[in-house]
Structure 1
Amino acid sequence: MPELPEVETVKRTLNQLVAGKRIRSVTVKLPRIIQRPAEPEAFADALSGRTIREVDRRGKFLRILLDGLVLVSHLRMEGRYGVYDADEPVEPHTHVIFHFDDNTELRYKDVRQFGTMHLFKPGEEFALPPLNKLGIEPLEPEFTLDALRGALGKRTSRIKPLLLNQEYVVGLGNIYVDEALFQAGIHPERTGDSLKKAEWERLYEAIRATLERAVEAGGSSVKSYVNGQGEMGMFQHQLLVYGRKDEPCPNCGEPIRKLVVGGRGTHICAKCQPLRAKAAKAEKR
């Protein structure tokens, strides 16, 4: 699933490609992608004649700002946008097409068919699902050490599932949580309330640094992710532990281990990220 760096990259790419374009019409080939309004015909009618002003992001969601409406789009597992000339063949698994006045098209392709689109009046999107329960943005000024510790520091759940919970901190998924925890030297099965002040400081810095580097590299193309121009991200070449089972730890040389935490495959260095006895007891409470 695209995480914050990938969605941020798509946002920036689409701003370059479609901002200022006027939608002539919309074709919906897979109605269940459209979650709001209930009828895909109403969705298409509402967008016809609108101009895309800007593309923004909230967590892992895209906010496509039009004159008088906001389209909230979630890519889920393998959703992707691309801009094409209208006469180019439409690829399989293309489910929504936005036809522009200039004879180009914004096409939404989704092999897994899990993506969603919601249409709102401006400002209304923040009060209703799916954006109404999202947590703090880790690359915005609101994300401070105190905010992170305040959200998670008293919780007895394991730190990895806490970081993956979008109601606390948005945009983090499996890849970047594994990378940040490794850089902070924190075992993913430690509980939130077991972390010391210095560990929270390291984790805060690791989250910001990891995401900033990933955004700069255009995200990680571990599976099928590409940006709006069909280009792969390059941050996968900088990953330290994720996807590197049995490879030597870049810090100590011990083999990277893969375990399951909260139902998610998780990569760690057991030596650099020790599960202390005190933390283990906290985990059993």
Structure 2
Amino acid sequence: MDVSNVFEVFGPAAPWAAATVGVFVAFLVAAAFWQGRSISFWPPQIGRRLTPLASRAFRSSRLGGRAGTAGRAAAPQREYGVDQSRDFYQEIASNYDLRNSGNLVSTHLATVAQLQAIRDQRPGLKVLDLGGGTGKVIAIHFFNDTTMNWTYVDSCPAMAAEFRRNLWGHPLGRGSEVVVDDMNRALGQLEAHSYDVIMLSLVLSSMPEPPDFGVLRRLLRPGGSLIVTDINPGYTRDNPLYKVWVDGAVVALRIMPVDPFEVIRRAGAAGLRVAEQKTIGEESFYYSFLLVFTPDPVRPRRRRAEASA
């Protein structure tokens, strides 16, 4: 039915009829939004109503809550400690990327920008992605790079499966080595001085203890970069539970605060110097931090001199 048909049916009352229909449609859309339904304008469709728990999670994510959270007030049905992070990520792997907040996206994009800048200087980049997750927030940005070599390490088989699925059929996927193992055990099996970039992107807060930075330095090529990002420790202390809604239940990981100054101290003790540091988020209360380290060429010579003395 086109506009002329509407006027033929309703005559002079056609504008009033159209306005009534418009108000009714707007009411349906508003009601669907607040009920947590999915809305598609083309083709026109309103999805099923979520459970009350899911609806709260939906509204929390729309309001810019922490990525993957299911409403800060919702009590988790299952809670994991960082010593059980493998089991937590195994359970949430398929939901991990559904509710990335703006701040988390900005954090990932800051890492992507660092990688892009390094790649411009070093074609054929060799990357070691520790705790690489699904690959959908960082690795996928380089999906069509035919020269980049990507070594992925994650202890969670479900996360590794998502990574393979997201990169399947693309050059980066074909050029990736996927290692499913405990990070510290995997690090001990990798060849020294092999990587241009090592990444710990939002990983340390899910670990009981940080990895040995001396081992990370050993794996870097001369002039290589270690990129570390994580959440502001003050934010983590105020929001220690990383909550995710999965199949009608809230599961949570109690994450660890990561002090950027402690990261700098550990890295420095291992012979890594800070090349760049920045905060991400509001100036008054930053959400996350990014640190870039490079091997300090003075440290090995100093150690050899001390040993000979």
With the length of structure 2 as denominator, give the TM-score of the two structures.
0.27
Higher helix share: 2
Structure-1-length-normalised TM-score:
0.28
Larger Rg: 2
